[in-house]
Amino acid sequence: MIKNNQMRYACAATFGRFNLPHVGHAELVEQMLAHADYADVHISGSGKNNEYELRELLFKVILRNRGVDMSRVRFYQTPNVNEALEFSVKNAPYNEVVFVLGSDQVDMLYSLSDVHDVNYVINHRSNSSTQMRYFLDSYDFLEDAKYLYEDCAYATTIAYMLRAEEHNREKSYQASAKTHRAGKACSNTEIGATYNCSME
């Protein structure tokens, strides 16, 4: 399908992990509402993500702080982007949906808009999750992190909680990978010992 910035739609849909919601994501929703009557925000339900409820809560806090009409925003926990689009198209009046993603996901945007026969809009964010992680990873940047959450202490606290959850998950993966490697090494040693014995 084509990019259409002029047409008004019933629904604008997006999908993402949103592991660390920030103002850039709020701007994405504002862009969606500029093109549609309401916004479907599909948050990935994959097990590799942060707790869904906290991600949704932080997203809502940021949007409310910016004065977004929350009656026009709907959140869903969705397994993948195809199911997200299928759901939004199926439930939108006259199947009128525009797909909105960030400029770092244009290849997926083009592909899926064709597959699901919907138009698309590219959102150009002002900041990124990588930037937010940089400031959240050191309490030396507490004031900077708070500033990036528009001086909302509540939002900043939730962001720190989500970042801590990411750190814990990363440590768990590293420990699991280390155990797996150690197990594989032991297995190889056992095979070698068996091989040597059989050769004697």
pLDDT, residue 197, reads 40
Alpha helices in 14-76 (DSSP H): 23-35, 52-65
- Condensed to tens digits (0 to 9), the pLDDT of residues 9-54 reads 999 999 999 999 999 999 999 999 999 999 999 999 988 899 999 9
Can you tell me the distance from the alpha carbon of 93 to that of 88, in angstroms, rounded to the nearest whole number? 10
pTM of structure: 0.83
Put the strands of the sheet holding 36-44 in their side by side order.
73-78, 36-44, 9-16, 97-102, 119-123
Q: How many domains does the chain divide into?
A: 1
Res 5: pLDDT? 56
Residue 113 falls inside a structural domain: yes
In a domain, 172, yes or no: no
Query: Residue 177: how many CB atoms within 10 A of its CB?
Result: 10
Question: In this predicted structure, what is the pLDDT of residue 63?
Answer: 98
Quote the radius of gyration of the chain (alpha carbons, Å).
Answer: 22
For tokens 């004697």, the residue is 200
pLDDT of residue 186: 56
Lookup: tokens for 158: 């939730």
Question: What's the mean pLDDT in 84-104?
Answer: 95
Q: How far apart are CA 25 and CA 14, in angstroms?
A: 10
Range of the domain at 117: 9-127
Cβ proximity of 56 and 23 under 8 Å: no
Residue 163, token pair as written in the block: 């970042």
pLDDT score, position 54 = 97
Residue 37 belongs to some domain of the structure: yes
Domain assignment of residue 117, yes or no: yes
Residue 59 belongs to domain with CATH number: 3.40.50.620
Asked if the structure places residue 115 within a domain, the reply is yes
Q: Is 170 a residue whose pLDDT tops 70?
A: yes
200 part of a folded domain: no
Any domain includes 77: yes
Mean pLDDT score, 66-74 = 98
The reply to whether 140 falls in a domain is: no
